[in-house]
A and B are shown apart, each in its own frame.
Chain A
């Protein structure tokens, strides 16, 4: 029993309950959430250190051995993602102290936010397919609550679309899990690794894998299934968009990576090609959508979609170097997205609008802050020496290794087109003079600037010293693709074949 794994789950869950019961004011509840996220950060850091030093670790819940009970596992990928989730958790909970109004706080913002973190961490750590579904639901129901919280008409309208499509994906996932259980007689992901491959009806396995592809694809907002995201995200308060943009879609990507390396290993070429095509189309649609809008929030929501494409390339190519590139991209993408939305939140408050035409003059009034935007935007585009550069370099390297010239050209084109809308934001909101008397005296609140600065420093450090994160991404990628150590730590030394359960 490894308590570190359990603490990573219990901390946000307890903070959620505490924040709900805490009698104090808005600020007091917010502080509970900040303390909770900080504790999670400490545990996640310890977990990452332990996994880095000793390799994957697992904990069997209730003392039931692996294929019987529910297992929590942390390999390099999971530990890394939990750590980044904790960073975003700390940043957003501090930012929310000033961003979330009293009405939303009274409605339980801090509780649902911590519950969302619980769901995200749970999804990253679980080693059981049905348990993954449960964590998805925990995440989903908290996101439902956050998305309608204190909402006006627009927000409700966005919420309806978000809720509807996510319910569909949930049902698909549940059906697929039922079919997997029927074929393999187990739901432990490590145990499924060999058993599904040995199932008599391989056509059905392929069909079920497509179920998973669609269910997780909806969550990750990939090409034909992304419409809900631009319809709902831009209506929300900035703290909520920041955490959604940073984490929610990435859980979908993580689930895709996990299920198509661990569960459906031999499905091979067909699915990989589909994923590759989806990844490229997602990139193109994302950048084109961003190009076509003049509202900062809409531009950035399309950038979320575009970046999902980059994260799927590793799965499409399926080699360690490509997977490492995707993982590196995912880690820095999470941080960049959180930072960018927080910066935009401050921009909006200055100009009281998110339409580019109504903004301006921010560079003249706040040059230091303008630099922060530039840092985040250039990191997203991938200008050396910022973090995005290394991510894209790794993606391109993988492409050259596979001689995937189409992919390389799409990646380069998408990167170029990513640059244009971000620079348009720069010129319109920062460079040009203010179109009307903007409320430029709005103070740059110290509490909301602290997480912005913190994330900027982390991104700069990743950009200047990428070697340790690249090394970690390499380890994570080889751990995911060659899942020997994962299987070992979940199932123990004796293989699961000894424990036979007939469905």
Chain B
């Protein structure tokens, strides 16, 4: 059983990494979903997999070979948190696509625009912002020449 879990984790991880290396925000996100499931499986498997036994303590106290319920509780918590994070990020991706107009992270350069950066993709750097950055660099040059006097 553990071997099966290990293989499953490996396959999911491979797919997840491949997706995460993509430049598309959505593919990245799906990759992350796969990898977070790998994390869940790792927790589950490392807690020890017990087949066909309930995680219950009998009347006579601890019985041999009961299933460990702690990893299940941990995985459950992790799944809930992961679900929340993924749904938030999906909404964010949608919002980013609506307002920035792309989900390609290479083209999302608004917060890191350098002065005089060229417009990579229609509307990525709005003409207004571009003009602002130009005037800012002009002002820079002006103050630089003014200072010695």
Binding site for B on A (CB under 8 A): 130, 133-134, 137, 140-141, 144, 148, 152-161, 163-164, 167-168, 170-171, 174-175, 177-179, 181-183, 231-232, 234-235, 294, 355, 357-358, 432, 435, 502-503
Contact = CB atoms under 8 A, between A and B. Distances in A.
A177 B73 CA distance: 14
B143 A357 contact: yes
A91 B106 CA distance: 38
B74 interface: yes
Interface size class of B (residues with CB under 8 A): 35 or more
B35 interface: yes
Contacts of B136: 355, 357-358
A347 to B, nearest CB: 17
Contacts of B71: 178, 181
B46 A153 contact: no
Judged by DSSP, the binding face of B is helix
Contacts of A234: 111
Contact of B111 (A130, A167, A232): A232
Contacts of A174: 36, 39-40, 43, 78
B143 A160 contact: no
B110 interface: yes
Nearest to A298: B112
B149 to A, nearest CB: 13
B89 interface: yes
A205 B60 CA distance: 37
Contacts of B25: 160, 164
Contact of B81 (A134, A152, A168, A175): A134
Contact of A179 (B40, B42, B74, B100): B42
14 contacts: A141-B88, A144-B88, A155-B111, A156-B92, A159-B92, A161-B108, A167-B32, A174-B40, A178-B43, A178-B74, A181-B74, A182-B46, A357-B140, A503-B47
A152 B71 CA distance: 42
Contacts of B20: 168
A156 B105 CA distance: 12
B85 A153 contact: no
A159 B96 CA distance: 9
Q: Which 9 A-B pairs have the closest CB atoms?
A: A182-B46, A178-B43, A158-B111, A157-B110, A178-B42, A174-B39, A175-B39, A157-B111, A357-B140
A276 B108 CA distance: 34
Contacts of A171: 32, 35-36, 38-39
Interface string B121-149: 00000100000000010011001000100
Contact of A358 (B38, B93, B139): B139
Contact of B92 (A130, A148, A168, A177): A148
Given A141-B85, A182-B47, A235 B39 contact: no
B99 interface: yes
B139 A163 contact: no
Contacts of B44: 178
Interface in B33-85: 35-36, 38-40, 42-48, 68, 70-71, 74, 77-78, 81, 84-85
Contact of A161 (B32, B74, B111, B126): B111
A417 to B, nearest CB: 21
Nearest to B91: A148
A154 B46 contact: no
A37 B32 CA distance: 35
B139 A157 contact: no
A181 B47 contact: yes
A234 B25 CA distance: 22
Contacts of B38: 171, 175
B139 A357 contact: yes
Given A294-B140, A355-B136, A163 B81 contact: no
A84 B81 CA distance: 28
A170 B32 CA distance: 10
Contacts of A177: 43, 74
B69 to A, nearest CB: 11
